[in-house]
Amino acid sequence: MTAQIRVDREKCSGHARCFAVDPDLFPIDESGYVTVRVQDVPSGQEDAAAAGALACPEGAITISAPGTSDVAE
Ligand code: F3S
């Protein structure tokens, strides 16, 4: 199983701090809102994905742990 990025678009307020951590994992639109909803985390990018989730002040990003149905921030 691959870890997944999940973004709650309702919580996203356009801080773009996730984008600042990794613009490839967390692309944003012209208003600064992340455009990802659900995306597999590429192999080797787990730390960047976790850092991006932690960087969001709204708690909009969660990372699902591979091989489980649990969701960790
Ligand atoms: Fe949105 Fe949080 Fe990123 S508010 S743009 S998901 S840092």
Q: Find the CATH number of the domain harbouring 20.
A: 3.30.70.20
Range of the domain at 50: 4-72
Q: What is the pLDDT of residues 4-31, one digit of tens each?
A: 999 999 999 999 999 999 999 999 999 9
Encoded tokens for 4 = 């997944």
How many Å lie between the centroid of ligand 1 and the Cα of residue 69?
A: 23
Q: What is the pLDDT of residues 37-46, one digit of tens each?
A: 999 999 999 9
Q: How far apart are CA 43 and CA 27, in angstroms?
A: 18
Query: Which residues form ligand 1's pocket by a CB distance below 6 Å?
Result: 7, 12-18, 26, 28, 32-34, 55-56, 58, 60-61
CB neighbour class for 36 (10 Å; exposed up to 12, middle 13-18, buried from 19)? middle
Q: How many domains does the chain have?
A: 1
Q: What residues contact residue 37 under an 8 Å CB cut-off, 6+ apart?
A: 6, 7, 9
Q: Supply the residue whose CA is at minimum distance from atom 2 of ligand 1.
A: 56
